Structure 1
Amino acid sequence: MKSFWRLLRYLSRYQSLVVAAIGCNILTAVFTVISIPMLIPFFQILFDRTEMAEAPPSEPMGLTNIPEYINYEFTELITTQGQETALAYVCVAIVIVYFLRNIFRYLALYFMAPVRNGVIRDLRDEMFEQVLTLPLSYFGEERKGDLLSRLTSDVQEVESSILNMLEVVFREPLIITGALAFMIYVSPGLTVFVFLLIIFTGVVIGGLGKRLKRTSTQVQDRLGHLLSLVEEGLGGLRIIKGFAAEDYQRNKFSTANNDYRNLLTKLLRRRDLASPLSEFLGIATVAALLWYGSRQVFSGVLDAETFITFIFAFYNVIDPAKNIAKATSNIQRGIGAFERIEQLLDAVNNLPEAPDAKTISTFGQGISYRQVGFRYRDVEGPVLQNIDLEIPKGKVVALVGASGAGKSTLVDLLPRFYDVTEGGIFIDGVDVRQLRRRDLRRLLGIVSQEAILFNDTIYNNIVFGLDGVTQQAVEEAARIANAHDFIIATENGYGTNIGDRGNKLSGGQRQRLTIARAILRNPPILILDEATSALDSESERLVQDALTKLMEGRTAIVIAHRLSTIQHADEIIVMREGRIVERGTHLGLLEQGGEYRKLVALQGLE
């Protein structure tokens, strides 16, 4: 129940609405309880069994003699107006009470609607904020489809199964309490049956609810796996079709889908058992109640009209008890979903920002890697070892080496996508771990091998994350990136939507947009991660020209497989198995005849 109480803490943000809803639920319960004894005078008149009061009560009105005063006023009404008129008054009073009961019931739901939807909105906001905050290493361990499931179906499950039942939690116990109080007042003996029902129902439904919670968690896990397969299928359609692997992928999805269906069927069967089970228990108790109560009527202990009203009061216990039983099973199911949400909300950020993190807005001296070592997990071997590297301001440093040498990891440590496990990285003499992450990353412009674009317009992709940018500045950045000509040739120019991941554009066009985005940001430090490796010769020429313009006057770290693109770098760093094995200029490294010369020979550049 710890998760349930944590969820209820979100209600504190909507205090006034919750208080209003609770007040309306209390009034609903009050009018429900009032409606029960109002049936007694109705049956007394109907069966001509009204006990006529000859004189008003001698004592002043109090809690103990309210029925006597009501009976006296009722007697006066029958005496002066007649039985039919008195019956009409009773019917009108019953209608008014039920009208008020339902008005307040609606108002309780009216006030709770923005609370329920607001809590769900807050949950989604908090989860997405956590997604943006967590380091990249977290997402390497999680399936994207499972995260999508938590952000969508799990949150919706919480809304439908827990928040939708909050009015039941606030209202039904009050109705049960009032109805039981009336029943105890009328006949303590008969009320024993009600307690037996509630206790027995609580035990049976409680056990069912625990099973529902376990099954619900399994269902949400299976749905997350199913969404992961969908996400992988959509992202890999070209490969699936190219390798004629439709049957393999279809069978894989069908198996997961069938497993989800079977588990969901099991969950629904258990959930649907709660209501008929509680109804059966109620009917069994009513049968026993009718038998025992009839004996008391026959023996003169109870009046017939009082016993009928008692049965009506008992119904007002059974129906709320069924609602509570249903709410209990639903809440157990929802807690299973909320626990999956908590796994994301409580995920530990292993890249915390220092409490006294320093601000930085300018780059004045250089970047320094000092005895840097890194490994992704403690159980794995080192990815980087003993890296010492100085990058003065305004210099271009190129990283080369075979795949898996650690080049991309080396540059990923600079913006703190990961943290070093040994040594440190310094900007202007300050450890990057002591800088505010937002300030640090604003100094950097990143152009990666894969052009990361969004399903939006060309304009919004270029100005991504910036405010107050003019159209002239955007166009100037596009011209420098050799992108302006193809942009104005599109259907709506800078207002053209480029589709999911920019799939309406060619590879070279997408890459030039990312370069325009970096140019507009005007960062003092550039990270170019194999920005031209996936392009054809013509696109590579245009992109390389744009990169050359971008690097003018800036500090740049360039990762390149095509060595022809980095021959003019101020320093070339050759890496192998996480270590720096050579460093120098293009000509100097060629003269050494070592690792770099072998790489150059392999590409036929000598």
Structure 2
Amino acid sequence: MNKTKQLDSKKTTYLIRRFAPYFKKYKWILLLDLFCAALTTVCELVLPLIVRYITDKGMNDLEALTVEIILSIGGIYLALRLIDVAANYFMANVGHVMGAKIETDMRRDLFSHLQDLSYSYYSNTKIGQLMARITSDLFDITEFAHHCPEEYFIAALKFIVSFVILSSVNPWLTLIIFAIIPIMIYCSMQFNRKMRSAFKRSRNQIGELNSQVEDSLLGIRVVKSFANEEIEEEKFEEGNKGFLNIKKEAYRYMAGFQSTTRLFDGVMYITVVVAGALFMIRGLITPSDLIAYLLYVTMLLTSVRRIVEFTEQFQRGMTGIERFIEVMDEPVEIQDEEGSIPLPQVEGDIRFDQVSFRYSDGDNDVLSDINLHVKAGDHVALVGPSGGGKTTLSNLIPRFYDVTAGRILIDGHDIKKVTIHSLRSQIGVVQQEVYLFSGSIYDNIEYGKPGASREEIINAAKLAGAHDFITELPEGYETYVGERGVKLSGGQKQRISIARVFLKNPPILILDEATSALDNESELLVQQSLEELAKGRTTFTIAHRLTTIRNASVILVLTDQGIVEQGSHEELIEKKGAYYRLYNLYNTAGTNIGD
């Protein structure tokens, strides 16, 4: 993944500005939630005034404090409390649902963006890190999205209203109290900044742990075959302790943050008591006013404590938002260009026009100035040593990577000028590394043509030589393949992946060592099926077993020098060049050339 700014360098306002658009769909729910928050604040703001009024009347005009007045005041407060309960229910229910919906929207956008990112991104990114970003990082968004505007709105409302009320009673004592608050905020922010950095590092570390666990568990058979369980446990223990150390640091800063606020709690209380008592001696404030001051200070400090309690959630939410933004800001390297049109049904005529390619993190061209014309229906075989660019060349056709220079034309259409979906929908690929999704055999074959009939799926399996072994399984086509097809043999997985392409039935085929995992009998069966499928279709076959491509229309010998030879099997044998040497080496050693 590209290096991005650390969380410390990204201002909170910037992160919130990037996050704010997710509230747009739910703005009316948010406004109603804030209105309810205001209603819940009314009770707290009114109670000190009620106490002040009753105390003042009790000390100065007790006879005026009648039962009717007391009951009226009690009734008004009870009504306010019922309103408070209803408003709080809305906030706890609908407000949290709004947060969950925002989390869901962000996860959807993140997953959609991940689907659009190119091969090169995944070559440089750990899947465990991405799993952490799309799951645990966004878990805190629900609480953050709901509580962040709510808590700060309530705190601001209490501070403003309290300041106005207290200023009308005694402006000097009010200024003394509120002068302490900026100092408290400044000290708290120092710990805040360190907490934020620590939480970011803890999220990165949990992503590393996820990657390590995924790597170890997916390779569990290798671990056990080498009896290296203890090594894996040691590796995990090291990462786990690293995570603990980061958490310790984060909580040390949090403890400092909370201790600072508690210290200022005491400072504000004693300030009100001492200064208030001095003002009372001089007749500048009444006992009832001093009681009201103490109640309002208690209310303000309660608000501060709530903000403190919310701080950890706030920092987690901000960290999740930033890690979300980091992925969302990754550029989509392969995308439809402006004005792209759908590629019409093609015949399969493909032309490489001075094509060069290098990987984004490479210094040298993998392919350089490739000129190649493949007529519709031709069967092209790519052979040569590993690193020669065979797979890379085939990956350029469906735009898994974009050419660095030159262009590729299909039926005269520049593939950069057509939509990616229409391009790839007409190309079938059997990957070198077989991947089956967790699910049934039926589901995995159907992936080649979603919604296909059962007859089509069975026919595709027959063409791929997979039907017989599938029907022999206890549950047939409904057999669960396990994660990554772990319950099937390599040959069985390969034939199912080939069946997917048979089902898709595209005009252009790319077979990246499609038979390399099969035994001789299965290879012969599948090879016959592939040859039948290739009739009338343009086919690129990357092969290390040279016996599988003798009947290709043209064989290209690809090395780090580019296409060094091309022609039919017979023509290249007669030349006694690079292909001739590879073929003799294959026959002599009985190995796969390029493995």
Change in 2 beyond 3 A, CA 1:578/1:24: farther
Q: In the TM superposition, what whole-angstrom CA distance separates every residue of 1:85-109 from its partner, at most 9, and x where no partner exists?
A: 5434433333332332233233223
1:541 Cα deviation from its structure 2 partner: 2.7
For 1:135, the equivalent position in structure 2 comes to 118
Instruction: Give matches, 1:507-546, under 5 Å.
Output: 507-546=490-529
Partner of 1:36: 48
> Please, which of 2, 12, 15 is the counterpart of residue 3 of structure 1?
15
Residue 463 of structure 1 contacts residue 520 of structure 1 at CA under 8 Å; is this kept in 2? yes
- Correspondence for 1:604 among 550, 565, 587: 587
1:192 aligns with 2:175: yes
The 5-angstrom pairing of residues 207-606 of structure 1 reads: 207-328=190-311, 330-364=313-347, 366-377=349-360, 379-464=362-447, 466-604=449-587
**Residue type matched to 2:314 in 1?**
I
* Distance in 2 of aligned mates of 1:9 and 1:165: 15
2:102·2:145 contact (CA, 8 Å) conserved in 1? no
Q: Aligned partners of 1:328, 1:262: CA distance in 2, in Å?
A: 20
Query: Which contiguous aligned blocks of 4+ residues in structure 1 show a shift greater than 6 angstroms?
Result: none
Q: Which residue of 1 aligns with 2:188?
A: 205
Of residues 31, 36, 40 in structure 2, which corresponds to 1:24? 36
Return the alpha-carbon distance in structure 1 between the equivalents of residues 370 and 227 of structure 2: 45
Between 480-489 and 425-434, report the one with greater CA deviation. Answer: 480-489
Amino acid paired to 1:496 = T
Cα distance, 1:225 vs structure 2: 1.6
Q: Give the whole-Å Cα distance in 1 for the aligned partners of 2:331 and 2:82.
A: 52
Where does 1:62-73 land on structure 2 (aligned, <5 Å)? none
Please state if 1:49 is matched with 2:32.
no
2:563 is paired with a residue whose SS is strand
Closer, same or farther in 2 for the Cα pair 1:101/1:153, shift >3 Å? same
CA contact (8 A) 2:449 2:500 kept: no
Aligned residues: 577
Is the partner of 1:265 in helix, strand or coil? helix
Gaps of 5+ in 1: 53-74
Equivalent residue number for residue 14 of structure 1: 26
CA contact under 8 A between 1:20 and 1:111: conserved in structure 2?
A: no
Partners of 1:163 and 1:345 in 2: CA distance = 22
Say yes or no: does 1:94 pair with 2:77. Answer: yes
- CA–CA separation in structure 1 for the residues paired with 2:175 and 2:218: 63
Checking the alignment, whether the CA contact within 8 Å between 2:458 and 2:467 is kept in structure 1 is yes
1:314-368 alpha-carbon deviations (Å, 9 max, x no partner): 2121111232344456434432332222110001122232101121131125001
> Quick check: 85-94 or 111-120, which moved more?
85-94
Shift of 1:14: 0.8
- 3-state secondary structure, aligned to 1:36: helix
Residues 203/409 of structure 1: CA separation in 2 closer, same or farther (3 Å cut):
same
Q: 1:365 & 1:156 partners in 2: Cα distance?
A: 47
- SS class of match (1:519): helix
The 10-residue stretch of structure 1 (432-441 or 533-542) with the greater mean CA deviation from structure 2? 533-542
CA distance in 1, matches of 2:150, 2:251: 23
Q: Which amino acid aligns with 1:49?
A: N
Range that drifts further, 564-573 or 104-113: 104-113
Distance 2:127 2:361 in 1: 24
Give the distance between the partners of 1:475 and 1:114, measured in 2 at CA.
45
Secondary structure of the equivalent of 1:370?
Answer: strand
Task: Provide the TM-score with structure 1 as the length reference.
Answer: 0.90
Provide the rounded CA distance (Å) in 1 between the counterparts of 2:195 and 2:16. 15
User: C-alpha deviations, 1:429-455, integer Å up to 9, x for none?
Assistant: 111111100000001001122221100
- 2:135 is aligned to 152
Farther-moved stretch of structure 1 (486-495 vs 209-218): 486-495
Which sits farther off after the overlay, 124-133 or 292-301? 292-301
Cα deviation, residue 578, structure 1 = 4.7
Kindly state the Cα deviation for residue 529 of structure 1 after the two structures are TM-superposed.
0.2
Query: In 2, distance between residues paired with 1:436 and 1:93?
Result: 67
Q: Give the 3 Å change call, closer, same or farther, for CA 365–257 of structure 1 in structure 2.
A: closer
Runs (5+) with no aligned partner, structure 2: 1-12, 591-595
Q: Quote the Cα distance in structure 2 between the aligned partners of 1:195 and 1:463.
A: 68
Letter in 1 for 2:398: P
Identity, in percent, stands at 31
CA contact (8 A) 1:116 1:163 kept: yes
Cα offset, 1:175, TM superposition: 1.9
The verdict on how the C-alpha distance between 1:496 and 1:470 changes in structure 2, with shifts beyond 3 A counting, is same
Q: Greater CA radius of gyration, 1 or 2?
A: 1
Q: What letter is aligned with 1:561? A: H
